[in-house]
Structure 1
Amino acid sequence: MSTSGSDTGDLSAISSPGMVGRGHELAALRTALSDPPAIVLVEGEAGIGKSRLVQETLATRTSDRRQVLLATCPAFRQPFTLGPVVDAIRPAAEDVAGLGLSGLAGALRPLFPEWATALPPAPEPAEDAAAARHRLFRALAEILDRLNIRLLAVEDVHWADEATLEFLLFLASRPRQRISLLVTYRPGEIAPDSLLLRLSSRQPVGVARLRLTLEPLDVAGTANMVSSMLGGEPVSDEFATFLHDRTDGLSLAIEESVRLMWNRADLVRRGSSWVRHRLGEIDVPPTVRDAVLERAVRLGPAAQAALRAAAVLTDPAAEDTVVEVMEPAGDPASRLVGLAEAVGSGLLREDPRGLVSFRHTLSCRAVYEAIPAPERRAMHRRAAHVLEGVTPPPVAQLARHFREAGDTTAWCRYAEQSADLALASGDGATAVVLLHDLLTNGVLLPADVVRLTGKIPFGLLTGRDRYRELMDALRRVLATGQPTPGEAAEIRFQVARLLLQMEAFAQARIEMERALPDLGHNPAEAARAMMFLGLPYGTTTPAAEHLRWLRRVAQVPASMAPVDQLSIRIGRASGLLLLGEEEGWAEAALIGDDAATTAERLHVTVGHLNVGHMALIWGRYAEASRVLALGVGLAEKYQYRKLRAVGQVTLTQLDWLTGAWDGLAERAGSLATDEDLLQPVSRLAPAMVTGLLHAARGDQDRADECLRLVLEQADRQGGAEYSVEPAGALAKLRLGAGRIDDVLQLTDEPIRFIEGKDTWIWATELAPARVEALLMTGRVSTASDLVDAFAAGVCGRRAPAPHAALATCRAILAQHRGDLLSAADQFALAAEAWQGLPQPYDALLSRERQAGCLLRADRSNAALPVLAETFQGLSALGARGDAMRVMHTLRAHGVEVKRPSWRGGRRSYGDQLSPRELDVVRLLVGGRTNREIATALFLSPKTVARHLEAAMRKLEVSSRTALAVRVVEAGVVTEDPAGDDR
């Protein structure tokens, strides 16, 4: 039995990391040791990978492995004399009696009492201790020579006792030396008077010498190391950067952090690469924590106090600042000495500016978390008071220190100042964190709430919990009854903005309408409220009413701030284009490619993503591709993670429409289940693409289930506009299955919504299926009226997709009238219209219908070449189900075609959990019911039950509880799944 710990279902456990980023050092080390004798010194801080480099080197010496001796110096408080050398020799010499040792070897009896019967008698006592030690060294060297040792590798020599270091010096300085030495050590832990400095500074005559200093891995090396632990699969650039920033490229910290995240089910597959489920903070792995605290406890009390002070300060700080934050006990001079000792230990470092900080982030956190809470609060208070005297004041640090010290008033003051600085410098993400924390945890007056909420760049807010927390905080203020009417209106306006970000458009409209009458004192917000009411979301209001609001917004004062003008222009462009108004393109053309301030950059990014989505609806795919690339590029440049995900959703739709299907199922599946960055409405589109791909590839049952669940989810969101596309997609699928009544039922309400709202530009997916179903039930005049209304609704609009759908509707009408040749011509025109977008799949389906009309008109000579071309096109696209249908038609008319051999297909996972089973099990462990799991994953409860049954069968358990326990024990998931904040 095996389980899977990844979304690919084929990786049951992580591996030990490969040798990454040390190729140059490894080659140099091997070269040096290939020509003995040599002395090789490998230095680097703890966890840098010295031992791994030694292991890789020794692993290649397969032919002379018995000629290699490996010794390790343990971190004993009182190391044993020559202990590392003795412990290495003992297992290497099983029978010393046969080594032909001289009488000198009798000096080894005290070190090897178990060999007493095989060693020569002990020699006469030496004249003094130095002579005795020299005799002992000669005896040890003799036994190494008799064992034919050619390489002595000694690790962690910084912990070696003095006798061991003297022995290494003795070996290195011997005439006719035949043994090479390979030693590793941490430079930061070598005492100033250590004998190791003599070994590293002197080069004996005739002995090659090499010193290697290992540096931390860079981001690329970090990514490669993590990849080597995950079966060679790539990791996302974002995750690699995140991990590198928090581990500083230390190999041990990287490895242990990945193992910890794996054990907590915090690593998942997104598309083709591994990512972390949440990119917030990283826990200190126990191995790293213990190693850091063990190093700290070996320091004196003053040095440990300096470590605690530096951990509380976190940021680089001046020496006198660290000294003042240390415990008040003791005079400043002794505290300064303790700081010097802490820096000398290597845990702290001093940069060229004279600022002190921890060398590594995880070390800092390990020490910080070990400080008792009362002491920590007191140190934060001291840090805050010390830093208040700095000019200019470090407001971000002051906000953190006062918060942790429990001084709410000072925290709020400095946090707002810090957020303002972050916004001014373009760091919107930091501002979001600071302002969200203030609004949800601070004690604020209504006026403060109004001011602070207005500063939040809502487009950067991520995580479901953050939305809920902020919404609750704003509603609590309203519930107190303390705000004035103007303040209440501004808070409601912000509530509406928040609901808009959560895609709860109907609720947002209600709040905006309540706020607008009392926003007269704030023209910018009043204009933005009107602009929002002009967006045709969450209401059945006719387009004319929305246009009235949008045209009213066009009259806003020119004195309005540039950022407000930009926001309103983008909103107007989006609203006009959604309503099918050509003037929206003129507004969209005024959006710049970038901006200078954080707020303007955010608006410009949102604007391009909005316009890209509108271009998709209109069928202007080249424009959509260009604008979306610009928007997603800005989102990546400025780290707008949520906006990047939203842009990727639209790009996924564009890929479906334009036939870029390679890898699309994985991209769409990843976005459809991304609950961290995407709201439910945004996840509908990639889920729908998943269903459409199932349909094109001939899996009608899966397609029907997926599209039906998408439609149900869309209906639950409350806005009829969400249901138009999935209703059209599902109607098209059921039309092909002959379920005509279903088609009429599915399209009835959406088409009435479009008619009432007069937004025919939205009818591209819906109208052809509706027209054909009406004709098949004999409602010819109704179908004709629908086509006429569609034509009038898109007349004069440069909207290629609706016009292509209109051409298809006209061809369907012609076919129903029995005018087959005319219908064939009409379908050919429709195919050209679709291909011009380009939308190759619909173009090919129109070609198939063109050929069908020609066949029925006995024009097989004209039909069959068209049909053969269609078959090739559908096969190349990957539309298996449609290609097979066309193949059968060709064969029925005597044309032999070879059945395509598509690569891939649904994978068998054997006794491993499939990706979907893993998704279901993770949510099960998180405490969700079958229905809740179904909602999150766009599955039916029955399908969820089937996945759970399959998982229980594979893991040989008989209940949901046992399944949850088994996957937690196996390390597939944890009982505390990662939260929303990536």
Structure 2
Amino acid sequence: MLDPSPEDDGTSPAVSTPRFVGREREMAALRGALARPPAIVLVEGEAGIGKSRLLREWLAAPDRRTVLVSMCPPLRESLTLGPIVDAFLGIERPVPRERLTELAGALRPLFPEWSSNLPPALPPLDDAKAARHRLFRALDELLRALSVDVLVLEDAHWADEVTLEFLLFVISRQKPDGLSLVISYRPEEVADGSLLLRLTSRLPAGVTQLRIALAPMQPGDTATLVSSMLDGKPISQEFTTFLHDRTGGVPLAVEESVRLMCDRADLVFRDGQWVRLKLRELRVPPTVRDSTRERVSRLSPTAQQVLRAAATLSERSSVATIAMTANLSPAVCRGAVTETAVAGVLDGDDRDRWRFRHVLAATAVYEAIPLTERRHFHLLAGRALEHLRPPPVARLAHHFREAGEKTSWARYAEQGAELAMASGDHTKAVDLLVDLLSWAVLPPVDRARVASFAGVAALGRREPVDQVYHRVIRTLRSVLETPGLSARQQAEIRNPLGRLLITGGEAQAALSELEQAVAGLDHDPVEAARAMTYLGWAYAGPWPASTHRRWLDRAAELTARIDSPAQRLNLAGNRAAALLMLGEQEAWDVVAGLPVDGTTAAERLDVARIHVNVGTGALIWGRYADAEEHLAVAMRLAEAERASRLQHNVRLEQANLAWNTGRWDGLAETSAALADADRDRPAHYLGSVRLAARLAAAAGRRRAAEEQFRLVLEESARLGAADDTMEAAAALARLWLIDGDSRRALRVTDEPMDTVQRKGVWVWATDLVPARVEALLALGDPAEATRLVGRFARGLRGRTAPAPRAALAGCRALLLAAAGDHSRAATAFDRAARAWSALPRPYDALRARERQAEALLAQGRIEPGRELLAAQYEQLFRLGARGDADRVAQRLREHGAEVPRLWRGGRRGYGDELSPRELDVVQLVVAGKTNREISRILSKSPATVDQQLRAAMRKLKVSSRTALAVKAVEAGVFFDVSAG
């Protein structure tokens, strides 16, 4: 007698956990990579593709290695370093105290349960970045003390930035046979700027690299997987095709669809294979959400309550925590958890913690909870999590927020922000606090405290001006409108608000906030002195220099009474830069006493920022050797601390220095790269545009230059950055003077000139006064031009400011030429040219020589005038000022001179030889740099690098980068780059 088939007894087929199918090649690659430590393995793929299953199968294999495993939960605000902490807590053996140094005392806030095995707590650090670095070193030491071989981090696309920074830190310190990392993530959920993308970009030598990209299953593997769930019996080809087409071969979707069909008794065993009843009529769920909800609906009401609780908790949780969230007794909850586990919905670990087997299933259940019930679940979840030690403050803030419990929400949001800042994650702190201020109705005293905290946290963010920045500004301004705030509370909000406004380029508004803040900061001399120093910067506002100077003097008095050397250094350095902006000669005495290094990372960054500002001031004064020295110090420290934004600041000022000193080669590419990098920082972006405008004007690209200078002028005026309007207004005036539109040229200089005279800061007027003098003379007003030159001279008395003084010499020459005294004018222009050359500032020196030649011609000294003019033509042309060179060529022709033909076909040709620029690119290719890295190092656009690389390959007759490197070495066309 034959055994009855499954269809004969009317029962649904038993569903088993699917076999591990179709990933043999990936498993072999994973094992091979981890057999060559240290390794970094990235496992990527969409949700449900099988990343976790691959890792579980690897972990299940016998292995003597020590492995830490953790997951990044999909929290709205993930806990800073939470995944790393959870990974360590999975170790059962005690921490070996004898293998830890005092540095491990930094771990006490993260691992209170290990207090008996950890050294004493370390003193707090004022600098968040230094605190984070110390914590990273301590965690790395703990990894080594525990002899951890592999750290596995799942769902890294949900990881907080500090966790990713720690992974980068660990991999950068790897040694042979060191720790390996296995990281899984969904690439579609990784932002372009995520640190996750850097994990394989710059690895030290000797690190094994592997990227496993999991693809959907093929139809054959789909059939094998389904068969393994159904007693190992085959499935029909029609069913295979149907299922694969509608699930796309995603294992999770396949598995969930099979379970749904079995629950609904839609599968029968017929003719030796599983087939689907009513194949055409039944709609296979297009998403896992539909299948999950239907499966959940077939469970008992208690099990459904447990699933709603687990979905609300969203992370692995104990039965006790789930029971409290579901409002069930532990015993009843245990039975329901068992039911859901048998149904394949929840999955437990070896510590008896449970969660949904798939995040998508949890989301489907959570979204099905009515809003009114959802708030209650979050309230119960929050109360349950309060029993954990240490309390998961970010999760607690999240749950009490969703529950509408503002008091608890506020308490845990602030605690979470404090922890985030302690780890250097200021952005997370800002998110928690601004979210609280935006959605919770707090008492005025709490609202003020949280707002001040949010402002301080925002000042520590390393991210550029972005939506978060603007949200912070709006929030702080909104809080200031709260009735009943004391003067002190308002001051503690206005102080960080003013400094944030400076970062965003809103200079005028910043000074208004800071001035109001100072009156309420008597209780905090450091912050009061800092606010006064910001008020001493003369870039904005209607105040004269004397008012700014009084603020700086008040700040200096407070600084002298401050005990902290680091705070005194910060304030003294900022005061020196502010004095330079004011044109105060004594600033250089303060600068002479500034250090060129620091003992801590925080000090080094502070010293770097100070030297950038001093370099900027030196550029304004025309002390270019000093500028180069200070910018070099700043770049050295910024590179040592990997402060990328600060490096951008230094590069911009170095580009300005290169412009002034006539080193124009490559500046066009540099300005474009700087503009791309600084679009989110208005003041720096405008500085890049100004550099491009200078080049356009010199090259004779009139329309581009005018548009760019107008943008700089208008935006700088809008932002209140008065000092940045000077050069743009002068450049536009010169362009319009060439057109003969003298009145327009005069008008564009009116407001900037009024600012200079009102504030009394004449070192700003290097470009402005000569342009205005020329406009006044063109309009027939030599008397006003003479008075202006006199005011310029008086404003520069006692100041070693070579650039403004060279400009003053040129102005005096203009007056002589306008008076018809061409002999003395020629001598005066010669004096101005020598002054410019001494800086050196060759472009202005050449233009002064051009004026000298014109004066000689006006005297009737035709031959010396033509010879001098011809010399300026060639030098302007070779400098890159082709527009000026064309103008001089026209004047030479008007005076009967023959204009030499200079090569204009782009860059000089080198035949089959590599040009200097191509040699630079080849050198870096041999050093192993990518095109993007070469672009950054040489300050060229990626397109330019690619073009020069292709040209080099063509000349050396090779078709690959490897062949290029070999051919270059054989040809001896580059010097040793082993140090690179």
695 and 659 in structure 1: CA distance in 2 versus 1, 3 angstrom threshold: same
**TM-aligned CA deviation for residue 583 of structure 1:** 2.6
Are positions 1:476 and 2:478 aligned together? yes
1:882 alignment partner in structure 2: 884
**TM-aligned CA deviation for residue 594 of structure 1:** 6.3
Contact kept? 2:866, 2:897, Cα under 8 Å = no
**TM-aligned CA deviation for residue 779 of structure 1:** 3.0
2:725 alignment partner in structure 1: 723
What is the distance in 2 between the residues matched to 1:659 and 1:804? Answer: 16
What is the distance in 2 between the residues matched to 1:763 and 1:322? Answer: 70
**TM-aligned CA deviation for residue 553 of structure 1:** 1.6
User: 1:573 aligned to 559, 573, 576, which one?
Assistant: 576
**TM-aligned CA deviation for residue 713 of structure 1:** 3.2
For 1:44, give the aligned amino acid: E
1:44 alignment partner in structure 2: 26
Contact kept? 1:47, 1:253, Cα under 8 Å = no
What is the distance in 1 between the residues matched to 2:349 and 2:850? Answer: 72
Are positions 1:897 and 2:900 aligned together? yes
2:849 alignment partner in structure 1: 847
User: 2:749 aligned to 747, 750, 754, which one?
Assistant: 747
User: 1:421 aligned to 404, 419, 422, which one?
Assistant: 419
Is 320-329 or 816-825 further displaced after alignment? Answer: 320-329
User: 1:528 aligned to 524, 527, 530, which one?
Assistant: 530
Q: Structure 1, residues 875-894: CA drift from partner, whole Å, max 9, x if none? A: 33332211222334445544
For 1:793, give the aligned amino acid: G
SS at match of 1:554: helix
What is the distance in 1 between the residues matched to 2:564 and 2:811? Answer: 48
Contact kept? 2:23, 2:54, Cα under 8 Å = no
Contact kept? 2:458, 2:469, Cα under 8 Å = no
2:69 alignment partner in structure 1: none
Q: Structure 1, residues 584-622: CA drift from partner, whole Å, max 9, x if none? A: 234445555566789767755543443332222122334
Contact kept? 2:321, 2:384, Cα under 8 Å = no
**TM-aligned CA deviation for residue 245 of structure 1:** 6.3
What is the distance in 2 between the residues matched to 1:368 and 1:553? Answer: 55
User: 2:552 aligned to 535, 543, 550, which one?
Assistant: 550
1:489 alignment partner in structure 2: 491
What is the distance in 1 between the residues matched to 2:426 and 2:628? Answer: 27
5 Å-filtered alignment, 1:675-694, equals 677-679=680-682, 681-694=683-696
318 and 645 in structure 1: CA distance in 2 versus 1, 3 angstrom threshold: farther
**TM-aligned CA deviation for residue 763 of structure 1:** 0.3
Contact kept? 1:459, 1:602, Cα under 8 Å = no
1:372 alignment partner in structure 2: 367
**TM-aligned CA deviation for residue 730 of structure 1:** 0.9
**TM-aligned CA deviation for residue 240 of structure 1:** 7.6
Give the percent of matched residue pairs that are identical in Structure 1 and Structure 2: 38
**TM-aligned CA deviation for residue 547 of structure 1:** 1.2
661 and 251 in structure 1: CA distance in 2 versus 1, 3 angstrom threshold: farther
Contact kept? 2:693, 2:705, Cα under 8 Å = yes
**TM-aligned CA deviation for residue 578 of structure 1:** 1.0
**TM-aligned CA deviation for residue 790 of structure 1:** 1.9
1:458 alignment partner in structure 2: 459
What is the distance in 2 between the residues matched to 1:637 and 1:364? Answer: 41
5 Å-filtered alignment, 1:96-495, equals 239=193, 241-243=195-197, 252=213, 371-372=366-367, 374=369, 388-389=386-387, 391-396=389-394, 398-400=396-398, 402-403=400-401, 407-452=405-450, 453-454=452-453, 455-458=456-459, 460=461, 462-463=464-465, 465-495=467-497
SS at match of 1:613: helix
687 and 42 in structure 1: CA distance in 2 versus 1, 3 angstrom threshold: same
**TM-aligned CA deviation for residue 579 of structure 1:** 0.6
**TM-aligned CA deviation for residue 671 of structure 1:** 5.6
For 2:810, give the aligned amino acid: T
776 and 440 in structure 1: CA distance in 2 versus 1, 3 angstrom threshold: same
407 and 668 in structure 1: CA distance in 2 versus 1, 3 angstrom threshold: farther
2:790 alignment partner in structure 1: 788
For 1:581, give the aligned amino acid: E
What is the distance in 1 between the residues matched to 2:570 and 2:320? Answer: 45
2:923 alignment partner in structure 1: none
For 1:555, give the aligned amino acid: E
For 2:367, give the aligned amino acid: P
Contact kept? 2:620, 2:803, Cα under 8 Å = yes
Higher RCO (C-alpha under 8 Å, 6+ residues apart):
1
Contact kept? 1:380, 1:405, Cα under 8 Å = yes
What is the distance in 2 between the residues matched to 1:739 and 1:458? Answer: 46
Are positions 1:582 and 2:585 aligned together? yes
**TM-aligned CA deviation for residue 750 of structure 1:** 2.1
2:509 alignment partner in structure 1: 507
**TM-aligned CA deviation for residue 289 of structure 1:** 12
Q: Structure 1, residues 511-560: CA drift from partner, whole Å, max 9, x if none? A: 33334334333333333333333222432322122212211221115245
User: 1:624 aligned to 608, 622, 627, which one?
Assistant: 627
**TM-aligned CA deviation for residue 652 of structure 1:** 4.6
CA RMSD of aligned residues (A): 5.5
What is the distance in 2 between the residues matched to 1:287 and 1:380? Answer: 33
2:761 alignment partner in structure 1: 759
SS at match of 1:491: helix
2:617 alignment partner in structure 1: 614
For 1:413, give the aligned amino acid: R
| Structure 2 runs not aligned, ≥5 long | 1-21, 33-47, 62-153, 157-166, 169-189, 202-208, 217-245, 260-291, 909-980
What is the distance in 2 between the residues matched to 1:593 and 1:312? Answer: 54
What is the distance in 1 between the residues matched to 2:349 and 2:636? Answer: 37
For 1:410, give the aligned amino acid: S
What is the distance in 1 between the residues matched to 2:606 and 2:248? Answer: 43
Could you state the TM-score of these two structures normalised by the residue count of structure 2? 0.56
User: 1:695 aligned to 686, 694, 697, which one?
Assistant: 697
What is the distance in 2 between the residues matched to 1:632 and 1:341? Answer: 61
243 and 492 in structure 1: CA distance in 2 versus 1, 3 angstrom threshold: same
What is the distance in 2 between the residues matched to 1:405 and 1:637? Answer: 46
1:705 alignment partner in structure 2: 707
Contact kept? 1:312, 1:380, Cα under 8 Å = yes
**TM-aligned CA deviation for residue 428 of structure 1:** 3.8
For 1:43, give the aligned amino acid: R
What is the distance in 2 between the residues matched to 1:663 and 1:355? Answer: 60
What is the distance in 2 between the residues matched to 1:476 and 1:46? Answer: 58
**TM-aligned CA deviation for residue 715 of structure 1:** 3.5
User: 1:732 aligned to 731, 734, 753, which one?
Assistant: 734
For 2:418, give the aligned amino acid: D
Could you state the TM-score of these two structures normalised by the residue count of structure 1? 0.56
Contact kept? 1:691, 1:703, Cα under 8 Å = yes
Q: Structure 1, residues 688-707: CA drift from partner, whole Å, max 9, x if none? A: 33332222121223322332
Q: Structure 1, residues 662-703: CA drift from partner, whole Å, max 9, x if none? A: 554455456657786213x44433333333222212122332
672 and 187 in structure 1: CA distance in 2 versus 1, 3 angstrom threshold: closer
What is the distance in 2 between the residues matched to 1:820 and 1:670? Answer: 45
